[in-house]
Structure 1
């Protein structure tokens, strides 16, 4: 299976909300890929595996395993471009998931991807 699908599934397992709109869920999955076919595959596979429930335009995670800064969200110094907004970064934040790293993101974008802003 495509590694984008596995990373997308790993991200959905870590959603921090009781429910999200489909639009907000897709916004978070765009941290992994902007390919609409891959996003659809991630959502379909997540429902099949019992990671989420979907009803109309609402997504409800079945589990809540929050990402913690310092343990699951790590920072690295270097020259990066934010995966979400494209800004130049000297410090990049990465989600360290079982399926692989997702990032880099700037300090504001990582909070948006995690749903904390």
Structure 2
């Protein structure tokens, strides 16, 4: 029997990306927008594909004609699940230098840092 602490870093990234997909704000998104969000966790094309396949297998999303429909999930609460920290960071989405990083706390782990506008884009608020 495998304990959650026995997961590899690759498996941890998969779970983090799946958790992010399950919490997207929009019900439907074009495939490139979904890939943009997954790439905040990994830019490995093989792993991105595996994450999308696994999300479909687990019922998190379904694909139809170039669009992705999120089939379940909740929404990230900015007040409870997005925390800020001061320091020297690079945004995981756009690469910009940040003095304040926004981090998203998901069940599978923490994702970030992001700038204030990128965290909104990642979560589907913009």
- Tell me the TM-score normalized by structure 1: 0.94
Q: Aligned pair 1:109/2:123, yes or no? A: no
How far off is 1:70 after superposition? 2.4
How many residues were matched structurally?
117
Of stretches 80-89 and 39-48 in structure 1, the one that deviates more from structure 2 is 80-89
Q: What CA distance in whole angstroms lies between the structure 1 residues aligned with 2:104 and 2:94?
A: 16
Structure with greater helix share of residues: 2
Q: How big is each residue's C-alpha offset from its partner over 1:51-94, in whole Å with a ceiling of 9 and x where there is no partner?
A: 11111311111114111112111111111111111111111001
Q: Is the 8 A contact 2:88 2:98 kept in 1?
A: yes
How far off is 1:4 after superposition? 1.1
SS in 1 for 2:79: coil
Q: Is the 8 A contact 2:60 2:73 kept in 1?
A: no
How far off is 1:18 after superposition? 1.4
Q: What CA distance in whole angstroms lies between the structure 2 residues aligned with 1:100 and 1:50?
A: 20
Q: Aligned pair 1:48/2:57, yes or no? A: yes
Q: What CA distance in whole angstroms lies between the structure 1 residues aligned with 2:46 and 2:103?
A: 24
35, 42, 57: which is aligned to 1:33? 42
SS in 2 for 1:113: helix
Q: Which runs of 5+ in 2 are unaligned?
A: 1-6
How far off is 1:7 after superposition? 0.6
Bigger Rg over Cα:
2
SS in 1 for 2:76: coil
- Tell me the TM-score normalized by structure 2: 0.88
How far off is 1:47 after superposition? 0.6
